[in-house]
Amino acid sequence: MALDNAFYDDTLASVYDQMYPLDGDTVQAIDFIGELAPPGGRILELGVGTGRIAVPLAELGYDVHGIEGSTAMLTKLKERDPDGKVTTHLGDFTETTTGEQFDVVTLVLNTFYVAITKEQQLSCLRNARGQLRGGGKLIIEAFDPAPYHDMKKPEVSVRHLSERAIMLDTLTVDRSKQLMVATHTILSAGSPETKRHVIRYAFPAEIDLLAQLAGLRLAGRWAGWTKLPYTSASLRHVSVYEPDQDV
């Protein structure tokens, strides 16, 4: 089933790097991913976006590939990576395959939730499994949906993009379908600009079951890239899966 939420990337490409700048958390993510790959190893990022993670990994000497459904995002990536160190593939990351295998496959920053049905999420995990070498690892970083699942009314927050621009984020939740609708309104010197996207959140146990159906098993879960223990109070998780040799 093809991903029908690709507009998420196209509409946000112009401000994505302002929303998610290179910061300490990014450095920790790069260190975490690098620890799971051998020196010069092969890494595939599903939903590579603007290359926030992929380009620094490639600069460290890893053979990095990325699958991305948005041409606008890939244009931004090429601006960040003028030497073409990252090999990119345009396509739906739930289905598109490179035809190759990797030591590590990643789905970072809630990218897994861009697949907005259970069927798409399962397809995504099967696609990741098919591109893992024996002994390889799949890394999923996602927010824990528990605080949002109980939302009874829209929530509004403010994000500072630059000295001259802010973003108003309005979140609404459809609990019956586990869908979150985010409306982003950018206020700057010009006219207000509105961008909207939909994601389907999944609870960790649900992801584990989908992974099992895809031939993967949980190898470890932490509350973040620094490997703090994952608890009932954790607001996100970094989960590592490996091929289940019994499947």
User: For 37-59, how does the pLDDT look when each residue is reduced to its tens digit (9 = 90+)?
Assistant: 999 999 999 999 999 999 999 99
> Where is pLDDT greater, at 104 or 191?
104
d(CA 139, CA 25): 15
pLDDT category of residue 29 using cuts at 50, 70 and 90: very high
For every residue of 185-244, DSSP letters joined together read EEESSSS-EEEEEEEE---HHHHHHHHHHTTEEEEEEESSTT-PBP-TT-SEEEEEEEE-
For the record, the structure tokens of 6 come out as 């690709």
Q: Using one digit for the tens of pLDDT, what is the confidence trace for 222-247?
A: 999 999 999 999 999 999 999 998 66
Rounded to whole angstroms, what are the CA distances from 150 to 169, 192, 197, 227, 244?
18, 30, 20, 27, 34
Range list for CATH 3.40.50.150 in the chain: 10-144+201-233+238-242
Global pTM? Answer: 0.90
Q: Name the fold adopted by 10-144+201-233+238-242.
A: Rossmann fold (3.40.50)
pLDDT category of residue 188 using cuts at 50, 70 and 90: confident
Under CATH, which number does the domain 147-199 receive?
A: 2.20.25.570
Rounded to whole angstroms, what are the CA distances from 95 to 55, 56, 112, 176, 212?
23, 25, 13, 26, 18
Lowest mean pLDDT segment, chosen from 17-26, 87-96, 177-186, 230-239:
17-26
Range list for CATH 2.20.25.570 in the chain: 147-199
Specify the pLDDT at position 178. Answer: 97
